[in-house]
Amino acid sequence: MESLWIDDPANLFTKETWSKFVPTSSMDIPTAMNAIVRFTVYVSVILFMARGNTAYLLAIPLVLALTVLVVKFFPTARTLEAFTEKASAKIREYTYPTGKNPFMNPLLTEILDNPNRPQAAPITSNEVKRQIESSFKQTTDLYMDTSDKFDLAQAMRTFTTVQSGVIPNDQDGFLKFLSKGIDEPDHSSAFPSRRAKEKSEGYVEAPGSMASLPNSTSKPTGVTPAGTA
Tens digit of each residue's pLDDT (9 = 90 or more) over 82-130? 444 444 344 568 888 888 889 999 998 888 888 888 888 888 888 888 8
Tens digit of each residue's pLDDT (9 = 90 or more) over 37-86? 999 999 999 999 998 888 889 898 999 899 888 888 776 554 444 444 44
Q: Quick check: pTM over 0.85?
A: no
Q: Where are the domains of the chain?
A: 9-73, 78-168, 171-199
Q: List own/partner pairs for 216-222 with CB under 8 A and 24 or more apart.
A: 216/189, 217/187, 217/189, 218/189
DSSP 57: G
